[in-house]
Structure 1
C-alpha cells in the first residue's frame, strides 16, 4: 500500500538519527496525526508504537504510524526537517496549508 504521507530527505535523515541517538526500539515509528478538530486541528508528530486503531506504513525504510481516524486528513502531507535562524524542527505541509 502506498504511503499517504511523504518524507523529505532531510526529515528521513533526522528521524533515523533521532531513533539511533535515543536508542528507540524498532517497535516505535513516526506518528503523524491531528491534534484538535479535523478542520481546525494542527498536525501532530512524535515517536510512538502502533495500536489497533492505527495503520502502519513503511516509507523508505521508516515506519510511519497513522490513526485510521486521521488518515483522510493527513493524505498528501509532506514532513520536512528544517534548520534555520530561529532554530530547527520538523514542519508538516499540506497542499493548502503550512503548519509547524
Structure 2
C-alpha cells in the first residue's frame, strides 16, 4: 500500500487510543475502519465505522488495544495523519490532523486535497 518501511501510516494519540479501544470493546469489534467519501462543502469527508474484520487491502495500524483499519481508497490521502480524540464542553470527537489537506470547511467536517499529479480536471 502507501507506506514507508518502518513508519506507521498514521499516528494515534493516547486519547484516541483509549477511545478506539473503548468503542471496540463495547461492540466486540476488531477495529475502527477509516475512509473517505465524496461530500461536504470542501469535497471529501472522513468516514469511520466499527469493523468485524479487516478487508482485503486494508492497512492495519495497532497500538495497545486499539486497531485502526485504513480503507485502500483512503490510504494515499491519510498517510501522515495524526488521529486524536478531544473532549470539550460542547462537543467531543475524533480529530484528524492531516498534512495532506489543502482546504477544509468552516465546521471541519469536510476537506479537500491537492489534485493528483496527472489527474484530469473538469476543464480537461
TM-score by length of 1: 0.76
Structure ranking higher in strand proportion: 1
Of 28, 32, 35, the residue aligned with 2:37 is 35
Deviation at 1:62, TM superposition (A): 2.4
Of 84, 94, 104, the residue aligned with 1:80 is 84
- Runs (4+) of structure 1 exceeding 4 A deviation are none
Separation of aligned partners in 2, 1:66 and 1:83: 24
CA-based RMSD: 2.4
> How many residues get paired?
96
- Bigger radius of gyration: 2
Task: Tell me: higher relative CO, structure 1 or 2? Use CA pairs within 8 A at least 6 residues apart.
Answer: 1
Deviation at 1:9, TM superposition (A): 0.9
- Is the 8 Å Cα contact of residues 20 and 67 (structure 2) preserved in structure 1? no
Deviation at 1:85, TM superposition (A): 1.6
Of 59, 69, 74, the residue aligned with 1:70 is 74
> Aligned with 1:31: secondary structure?
strand
Unaligned runs of 5+ in 2: 1-5, 110-124
Of 40, 46, 49, the residue aligned with 1:46 is 49
Unaligned runs of 5+ in 1: none
